[in-house]
Amino acid sequence: MQPASVELESDRTSDPLFPLVTGLYLAVLLTPPAVLLAIQFGLRGAGRTYMLVIATLAVLTTVGWRLTARTERAAERLGSSPIRWLPGTVGLCYAFGGVASLGHLGVVSLLAMFFGLGAMGLGYALGMMARTRYTDAVTAATEILCEFEAGWPAGARRRAIVAAVPLFVVGMAGFGLVYLDQFGWALWPIQMLLPTGTYLVANTEPRSYTVTAAGIGRGNRVVRKLLPWDGFSGYTRTADALVLHRQWRLDIRLALDDLDDAASVERAIAEHLRPS
């Protein structure tokens, strides 16, 4: 059964946080254009501009909050699709637009730059919140086969940390490239090694898992995601772990020592995945 085929059950009135963050996101995106429009119609003075920004933020946040709260299953619908990351990307592009317009639009450019960064953070937070709510809705509406908490086995975790150390070292050293103009082009590629190392180490940490007919829910108390069964190519049981294989992404390793009943977990997984 695919997640898309599951009839979601959600109480839209019980989750005020998502509509509030949505309202804030829309407010920080729309405030700079509102200020630009007001300036075109003759608004002058720092005090008046400040008051307009505060009032616009308050009004747009309230409107966005109320509209989202009235939209049935808005969070689950967004969380079920990859477009959940679009709001954050829009905010990033917005910030770049503000930087590009510096010197042309005055205070509006500064607002767009800083509000764009705020929209980026709020947008990606919306994506994670939506994904979590979608995961919770799916797991609540399908049969739960088993639940447990597990991380990588100790040996695999040590190897991952050893592999991540050079990524951190080179990534941190990359900050020194700001003083070497001839190597400035390599600054961003090298600094990307830092989040790569963080991703590698973070995946070894214990997570909560919920095995259902729709897929595997994985996460913690704050953030959760649904991993559909068709995203796996099979599983293997080794001497110290159940390894769920994925193409193009890190395999999921479940340390046997972390499982109270490894046989039951393996049976639940074997209902949907073939041994490799």
pLDDT at residue 241 is higher than 70: yes
Place of tokens 């977990």: 265
Same structural domain, 58 and 148: no
Same structural domain, 45 and 69: yes
Same structural domain, 83 and 205: no
Q: What is the dihedral of CA 73, 79, 80, 82, to 10 degrees?
A: 140
Task: Kindly indicate the confidence band of residue 95, based on its pLDDT and cuts at 50, 70 and 90.
Answer: very high
- When the pLDDT of each residue in the chain is averaged and rounded to a whole number, the result is 88
CA separation, residue 125 to residues 78, 79, 136, 165 (Å): 12, 11, 16, 28
Instruction: Give the DSSP per-residue string, 58-76.
Output: HHHHHHHHHHHHTSTTHHH
Task: Kindly indicate the confidence band of residue 274, based on its pLDDT and cuts at 50, 70 and 90.
Answer: very high
Q: For the chain, what is the radius of gyration of the CA atoms?
A: 23
Neighbours of 14 (CB within 10 A): 6
Same structural domain, 256 and 208: yes
Q: What is the dihedral of CA 139, 140, 141, 146, to 10 degrees?
A: 50
Strand (E) or helix (H) holding 218 = strand 215-219
Task: Kindly indicate the confidence band of residue 1, based on its pLDDT and cuts at 50, 70 and 90.
Answer: very low
Buried b (16+ CB within 10 A) or exposed e, 227-258: bebeebeebebeebbbbbeeeeeebbbbbbeb
pTM for this entry: 0.79
Same structural domain, 162 and 37: no
Whole-number Å distance between alpha carbons of 107 and 53: 11
pLDDT digits (tens, 9 = 90+) for 4-60: 444 455 444 456 789 999 999 999 999 999 888 888 887 777 788 888 889 999 999
Same structural domain, 76 and 44: yes
Task: Kindly indicate the confidence band of residue 116, based on its pLDDT and cuts at 50, 70 and 90.
Answer: very high
- Nearest C-alpha neighbor of 9 from the set 201, 162, 142: 142
Among residues 141, 157, 191, which one ends one of the domains? 141
pLDDT digits (tens, 9 = 90+) for 130-149: 999 999 999 989 999 999 99
What mean pLDDT do residues 228-256 have? 95
Whole-number Å distance between alpha carbons of 156 and 165: 15
Same structural domain, 204 and 123: no
Same structural domain, 32 and 60: yes
Q: How far is CA 119 from the centre of its chain?
A: 14
Same structural domain, 19 and 127: yes
Same structural domain, 136 and 167: no
Same structural domain, 61 and 105: yes
Whole-number Å distance between alpha carbons of 247 and 232: 7
Number of folded domains that form the chain: 2
Q: CB neighbours of 121 closer than 8 A, spacing ≥ 6? A: 88, 91
Whole-number Å distance between alpha carbons of 151 and 206: 4
Domain span holding position 52? 3-141
Task: Kindly indicate the confidence band of residue 256, based on its pLDDT and cuts at 50, 70 and 90.
Answer: very high
Buried b (16+ CB within 10 A) or exposed e, 41-77: eeeeeeeebeebbeebbeebbeebbeebbeeebbbbb
pLDDT attached to residue 184: 65
